[in-house]
Chains A and B, each alone.
Chain A
């Protein structure tokens, strides 16, 4: 599904990723953990094609294609979805208009007809239930005045409607109370399937109590320094990240 090879990336003149390699198979859930500043969020932004994030070396293959050669919207249409750590507010454009534009764009790419308004509304309402987001949020401006938790649930809502092949959750768990965390986890679990993969970028092990990862990686100093199964996350929870400093050095 996704093969990252020796990825180097720079942000504002500063090298952040320094040789990151990672392979995620179809249907797998990978957790990427690591201390602040290790490059976790940068990885998500690079995969989504955010401006200002410059790849200086390495490659990313997604479903056999060169992901880095694709425009941001092409990646999204091909099934890559990044749940933002800090979702953007777009006042004046309703959530509904935004969601319909997104879903239509992705469906069109797949050669599917756009959904009629009634069918779409029905799907959106169902997704609202799963995301535990009141339907009133569909009429409000995109993320406008949403609380931190509501923004995260709105990201989940989008993911539920777009049904990506690769979902990347960038610290979606941070700032969530336990109820909201469970909502997000249930949403992700409901989407899990043989053809759909996830990368969970997180600082804490907590999320992994609810979403069982196939693999856990530790990112430090811009590289993956340790990989293992779910027990690695528990180890990190127990020992913290301090022990990594020796490994990076």
Chain B
């Protein structure tokens, strides 16, 4: 079996294991889902009656998604350390497979979160998405970047105390360029602009996902081994 194929199979197995454990405990799903629902409810009561521009609405959507992600995406590594299962995983799995598997798991969590929150946001804010295709594309590319960066930051903070605070503090500056482009892309989609108009934002989102993903794959083996 080739090395790359084995790593992908190992990554798939890690993602599958995490999903199975998550659907049995529902810890991360509950954390990010309830946080997002609560925030969405607060936002809809606060600004629901107002007529808001597309740029403000897209910013609100991504703020909700970002903080919901911060509430649960570190769980994938933190739980391994707290449950003392990380050494077994370190011994059994190639480091790159661990990063890819955990990143895939976080991506699935984000997609599940958005499947819940985005339709509710649209309904509660009385939105009409002018360009649904572009809207979905921005969400998917944003998720890819968000999952890639939060996964490696989660691996870094998992061995530290005060993990929750560190996770958000370290993630925010890294995710700021992504958030700005996501908000810009979503604004264009809500305003009904063509996909070509948002090409610059889409290009940055693709480049961000590729650059952070590549850097993470290269850095992860050093992070994953205990000092």
Partners in one complex: no
Residues of chain A touching chain B, judged by Cβ–Cβ distance below 8 Å, are none
